[in-house]
Structure 1
Amino acid sequence: MTHSDFPTFPEDQVLLGRDLFFDPLLSGNRNISCASCHHGVLGSADAVPLSVGEGGKGLGKRRHGTGTAPAHQHVPRNAPAIFNLGASAFTTLFHDGRVAQNADAPFGIQMPEGNALEREANSLLAAQALLPILSPEEMAGTEGENDIADAVSAGHIRGPNGAWAKLAARVEAVPAYRARFTALNRSEAPLHISDIGNAIGAFLSDEFRAINSPFDAYLRGDTTALTSAQQRGMALFYGKATCSSCHAGAFQTDHSFHAIGIPQIGPGKGHGSAGADHGRSAITGIAKDKYCFRTPSLRNVALTAPYGHSGAYASLHAVVRHHLAPHESLMSFDPSKAPVPALTGYGTVTPHMPDTEELERIAAAITLDIPPLTEAEVNDIISFLHALTDPSSIGGKLGAPASVPSGLKVDSLLD
């Protein structure tokens, strides 16, 4: 795995994308940026099971922000890590794969219904960047709070009066952004949301790469790059423990979807009963896809806790143990072990879980069947997972800018 596995983008587009990624201007109430939930100092995510998006303040354990609209609910799914998602091997994104390469879709990328691309995107990352800005709990806010939220609520996403056009006009109104896009595009044509998505996608692809881990050095012939425990863990990972049946290839993912019974916590996606999340089947409409979620890459996995589509497991040990006994782990899960940031004030609260009937449905869908492992073998596998960390990637390549062209405040751990 090398940089040749990734597309290349102009440096000025990458730098422009960085500013947009960190700029709250793209949120309905101008109070949250993409980076608020996907920050380099927090493993390209936000280090909590479920994010407080719109209405929050700060990074990680965000709290209600004075002078902003209140947080209405937690984001239904864990903020996924971004490492290596710009590589050409990744053809689906999001936990449920709702953005995917598809030759039959407009401009070759499948988007959720009503959100089809209006122009070509330079990558999947560019396309996916256009969705969180439409989500009420993530960045848009709720009806009555701002013009973006009102457009989203009315189903007006595309077209000259849609939410995307309104956001593009916001960016266009900032002279520094207008000048940089003019230089980049060699055109003074009005900005389109695709210009913004392409810049953010270029930044994400360039910023979050983890391709120089001890494991990579070992594969290149450095037999001293892995400790004895890591070598034992590697043998288990690719052998007895069958981890590689799903976590395959250079990025340790088969890019597919599996039902592994991760405990469902928080509000869920509103699929059926309260707190339910049907995962992939909500996209495909296929019954066998119910409770299936995309296999995550394991690159930099030691940096990206908590784990699972709901962020239910706080440690590698806990999530590996879940894989060994998923039914028992699901049915006995204690939600107090996965505290989420409070929606008001400070601190954390215990998330709610679905009712017993829904838990049983999740359990019935599980397809995991891994041989028993000793505690020593589990520890060796965890040692190997740490060998997938690229030290040079920690924090991202460029990191956060000190300020952004809109003049809005950049989120900080110190807030």
Structure 2
Amino acid sequence: MKKKKKKEKNKKLALDSRLLNALKNAGRPIFRREIFHLAHVRPEEKNEAKALLNQLVRAGNIVKLKGSRYGLLDMMTLIQGELRLHPDGFGFVIPEKEGQEDIFIPPSGIKGALHGDRVLARIDRVAKKGPEGTIVRILERGRDKIVGTLYRSKNIAIVTPEDERFGPEIIVPKKDVKGIKSGRAVVVKITFPDPEKVISPRPGPLRGRIVEVLGDPEDLNVQTKIVIRSHDLPYKFEDEALQEAEKLPKKIRPEDLKGRRDLRDLPFVTIDGDTAKDFDDAVYVKKHRSGYTLYVSIADVSHYVPIGSALDLEAYKRGTSVYFPNDVVPMFPEALSNWIASLVPYEDRLTVTAKISYDLKGNVKRCAFYPSVIRSSRRYTYTEVRDLLEQDSCPKELKWMEELCNILNKKG
């Protein structure tokens, strides 16, 4: 069975190479039937050859031109890159290969491509300011959903994109807007032009269908949704990641403490914004005759997130939590970010600690880093700390923090 699969793979690679060699030997764009002839494609290989040809086009190895001709990218004056549009209609293709100049694309050369699309551009001429060209193929949509405001009349319904770089309007079917008030924020999925098809010289206005109604754009919650959708932030977790998070322990187990330093007797505190829900770092400063000792403990999320797990993949995709005045798009599900990996007061939590000793002038004397377990003694807000520092009854640990902070700031 393995030999059969290996033989089929080698056969596919051989056919792949024959198609590319046919284009290389032709030295110019040619029709599919000519490629098959030069590659000696047998009748029983035709369907596979057609599929391979389409794969090579999608991968950007070859280009499908007007008139259904194909050519090798390396043998043509074509540049592969990202299209960045200006609200006035012109744009630039930013090449993927380093060292190549950006290509100016006039409005007539955009040919239905959208801001952020991965495209192929043909260089038409080189002016004093640099190369100018035309989009010849959309390799990949940068995004197929656009946020905008719906405007409807008796005869037509259009959506004006929130981001002006996507053009002045998107036409949507009247059946899509039934029951939706004019002026509402919506999400539109682009249906025309189709990036899989050869570009038309005059593609016409964008068309799409409404896939989500966000609401009144004056509402703060709706404004948050607009930002999230406009920047394509991943605000929903995959089911597998949610299931992994729900299976996590709700309390620290004895086996979790193995190899960790016990710092639960130190009065760590967290200091965050008023609306923060996940507390990922805690601090403690102790002053002594020769200087200060600073402890910074970071929640040890890696203890709960194995490499390659669904939670790990979600975190990689998100990169960070994104905060809004009224909401947050978390990096991890709440069962992890707001509980077992959050340094909430009076609960044992696994951390990684940095211990740094300073002299009285703020010079580092020594430092150490190690896995640990702590128990936060209090959750402060920035406002609370600022007010407490102005009072005589301020806890000494906060005063020590302020002293060390001022010393380090003076050092620059």
TM-score range, shorter chain: under 0.3
TM-score by length of 2: 0.21
| Structure with the larger strand share | 2
| Structure with the larger helix share | 1
Task: Pick 1 or 2: higher relative contact order, CA cutoff 8 A, min separation 6.
Answer: 1
TM-score by length of 1: 0.21
